[in-house]
Every structure is written in structure tokens, then in C-alpha cells.
């Protein structure tokens, strides 16, 4: 059982913790205002991820596999929204204007980002089909597996948010802050293009 849990944790960390739109945007938000101010966005990311996980358990991932047109639509919508979040990060105010919360990604942005993230559904479908913990009761097996995956997501996403927070001191210099934001925005856009290219 311990081997199965270890394999699940490693696979979940690899799928959810690797650089991508959600993790890179968490780092950017952490850099913009610090980990504490980034909590609403972080909680939104986790809430959207929880919805994706429940959708995968309910068979939404299977439906998306059966009707690829729906998957393409969700990927395009998700990609467009991720680009919107990248834009918000790039143009967010610098210096004394940084307290303008309306210009920073918030809970809603994080939630919608993962809600429309078809890759999140696919990742959980892969985890549940390949790494479901060997527990006799099916409902309990899915519950414990899902709880383990979500616990890993909490830690991994927090790590990205906190890592971004280490750049916060650089945000006191407006020019440096703008450059860092634009770099994060470019990385987020690049990760979207990479994901879409690999899904074709």
C-alpha cells in the first residue's frame, strides 16, 4: 500500500507541479503581492482543480475523450482565459499603485482558469485510471486517492506561490517589476501554446 501511495504522490507531483499556466501564474501572483495577497488566487486555483477532480471521477474526462469536439472547445476557452490572466499579470500596476486589487488576478480568475483547463481533467483521469489506490471498497478507493491528489496539489501550488513571493522585493523597483511581470506573462503564454501543440 505504501508503494502505491508513493507512486501516486510522485505521479501527481509530476502532473500538477510541473511548469504550466496555473503554476506559473501562481508564481507571478506571489511575486506581485507576496504569498498572503496571493491567497485568494491560490484558493481559486485549488477550487477549480477540485471541480476538475470531481468531474474526472464523475466521468467527464471520459465524455471529453468520447466527444473530442467538446474537448477542443474547452481547451480553446481555457487557453483564452489563461491568456487573459497573463495579460492581467503583465499590465498590473507597479510601485505605489500595486494595492489596486481589481487589476490583480483574484479567486474568480484562479477558479475559472482551472475550471476550463481540459488538461486538469485529463490528468486526474490518468491518475485515477493508472494509480487508483488498492482499497477494496471502490468509493473509498476513489475518495482516498482523490484526497491524496488534492493534498499534493495544496503543497505543490503553495510552493509555486511562495517561490514567486521571493521575487517580491524586486517589485519595489517599477522597471524591474514590469520586466518580471512581462517575463511571467510570456512564460504563461508559451506554456499554453506548448500544451495546445501537444494535445493535437
Please give the model's pTM, rounded to 2 decimal places: 0.73
Between 40-49, 52-61, 158-167, the lowest mean confidence (pLDDT) is in: 52-61
Q: What is the DSSP letter of 93?
A: -
Domain ranges of the chain: 20-199
Contact partners, residue 8, CB within 8 Å, separation at least 6: 127, 131, 133, 145, 148, 149
Most confident of 16-20, 140-144, 181-185: 140-144
Cα 133 to chain centroid distance, Å, stands at 24
Provide the percentage of residues in the chain whose pLDDT is more than 90.
16
Whole-number Å distance between alpha carbons of 135 and 119 = 27
Provide the percentage of residues in the chain whose pLDDT is more than 70.
76
Task: Give pLDDT, residue 195.
Answer: 59
Q: Which residue has the higher pLDDT, 133 or 188?
A: 133
Task: Give pLDDT, residue 152.
Answer: 95
| pLDDT higher than threshold 60 for residue 150 | yes
Mean pLDDT score of the chain: 78
DSSP string, 116-156: T-HHHHHHHHHHHHHS----SSHHHHHHHHHHHHHHHHHHH
> Do residues 179 and 28 lie in contact, with contact meaning Cβ atoms separated by under 8 Å?
no
> Do residues 52 and 117 lie in contact, with contact meaning Cβ atoms separated by under 8 Å?
yes
Amino acid at each position: 500500500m505504501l508503494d502505491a501511495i508513493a507512486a501516486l504522490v510522485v505521479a501527481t507531483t509530476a502532473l500538477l507541479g510541473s511548469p504550466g499556466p496555473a503554476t506559473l501564474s501562481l508564481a507571478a501572483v506571489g511575486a506581485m503581492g507576496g504569498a498572503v495577497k496571493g491567497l485568494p488566487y491560490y484558493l481559486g486555483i485549488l477550487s477549480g482543480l477540485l471541480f476538475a477532480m470531481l468531474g474526472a471521477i464523475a466521468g467527464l474526462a471520459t465524455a471529453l475523450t468520447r466527444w473530442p469536439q467538446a474537448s477542443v472547445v474547452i481547451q480553446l476557452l481555457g487557453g483564452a482565459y489563461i491568456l487573459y490572466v497573463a495579460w492581467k499579470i503583465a499590465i498590473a500596476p507597479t510601485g505605489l499603485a500595486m494595492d489596486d486589487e481589481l487589476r490583480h488576478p483574484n479567486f474568480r480568475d484562479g477558479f475559472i482558469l482551472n475550471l476550463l483547463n481540459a488538461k486538469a481533467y485529463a490528468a486526474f483521469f490518468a491518475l485515477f485510471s493508472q494509480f487508483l489506490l488498492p482499497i477494496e471498497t471502490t468509493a473509498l478507493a476513489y475518495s482516498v486517492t482523490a484526497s491524496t491528489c488534492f493534498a499534493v496539489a495544496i503543497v505543490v501550488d503553495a510552493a509555486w506561490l511562495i517561490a514567486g513571493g521571493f521575487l517580491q522585493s524586486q517589485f519595489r523597483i517599477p522597471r524591474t517589476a514590469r520586466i518580471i511581470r512581462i517575463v511571467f506573462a510570456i512564460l504563461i503564454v508559451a506554456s499554453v501554446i506548448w500544451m495546445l501543440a501537444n494535445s493535437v
